[in-house]
């Protein structure tokens, strides 16, 4: 096993990255969260792999399943959270993507499950993290449920990301799966 952690995710278009970074600033999230993702770290996690070594059967199986997908549209939705809405441990931008996004996640998870890879046992809730590790510095303003600008973008790939602890950007693309047109 490797010391690094890995996950499979969907990248976010540059226009969306800039908009979300501006929302973090406008909402003063640095006053409420210990960790704010760097602009280039915005992504949608499909499958967390942990300290898995990125070679062999699992990555090959996931690649085979995901190359069957075509590019599809994603859109920002509302601000959401995990935890108490006045002091959420994670604040995020919700993402709408239709059936394709859920199918993509289901296929990646099925490839892992077929090889007895341990998976997280929680429902898939597509999102882009805006802040995590709540500081406990008073209540968060009533922003959960706020509708974000309905920016849309085409996703044409999934990525295998490596987590680089203590570095910025924190996530490095290790490999890609392109969706054929």
Q: Point out the residues that are catalytic.
A: 43, 127
Whether the ω angle into residue 97 lies within 30 degrees of 0, i.e. cis, is no
- Residue-wise DSSP of 104-128: HHHHHHHHHHHTT-----S----EE
Query: How many contiguous H segments (helices) and E segments (strands) does the chain have?
Result: 3, 9
Q: Give the pairing of strands 157-163 and 72-82.
A: unpaired
Cβ atoms of 9 and 48 within 8 Å: the answer is: no
Instruction: Provide φ and ψ at 169, rounded to 5°.
Output: -60, 155
* HEC letters along 143-170: CCCCECCCCEEEECEEEEEEECCCCCCC
């Amino acid at each position: 096993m490797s010391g690094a952690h890995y996950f499979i995710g969907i990248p976010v278009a540059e226009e969306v990255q800039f908009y979300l970074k501006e929302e973090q600033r406008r909402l003063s999230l640095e006053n409420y969260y210990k960790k704010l993702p760097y602009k280039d770290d915005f992504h949608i996690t499909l499958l967390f792999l942990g300290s898995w070594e990125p070679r062999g059967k699992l990555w090959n199986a996931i690649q085979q399943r995901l190359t069957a997908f075509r590019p599809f549209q994603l859109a920002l939705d509302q601000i959401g959270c995990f935890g108490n809405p006045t002091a959420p441990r994670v604040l995020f931008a919700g993402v709408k993507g239709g059936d394709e996004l859920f199918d993509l996640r289901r296929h990646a998870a099925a490839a892992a499950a077929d090889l007895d890879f341990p998976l997280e046992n929680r429902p898939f809730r597509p999102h882009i993290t805006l802040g995590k590790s709540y500081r406990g510095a008073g209540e968060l303003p009533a922003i959960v449920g706020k509708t974000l600008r309905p920016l849309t973008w085409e996703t044409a790939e999934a990525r295998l990301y490596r987590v680089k602890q203590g570095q910025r950007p924190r996530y490095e693309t290790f490999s890609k799966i392109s969706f054929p047109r």
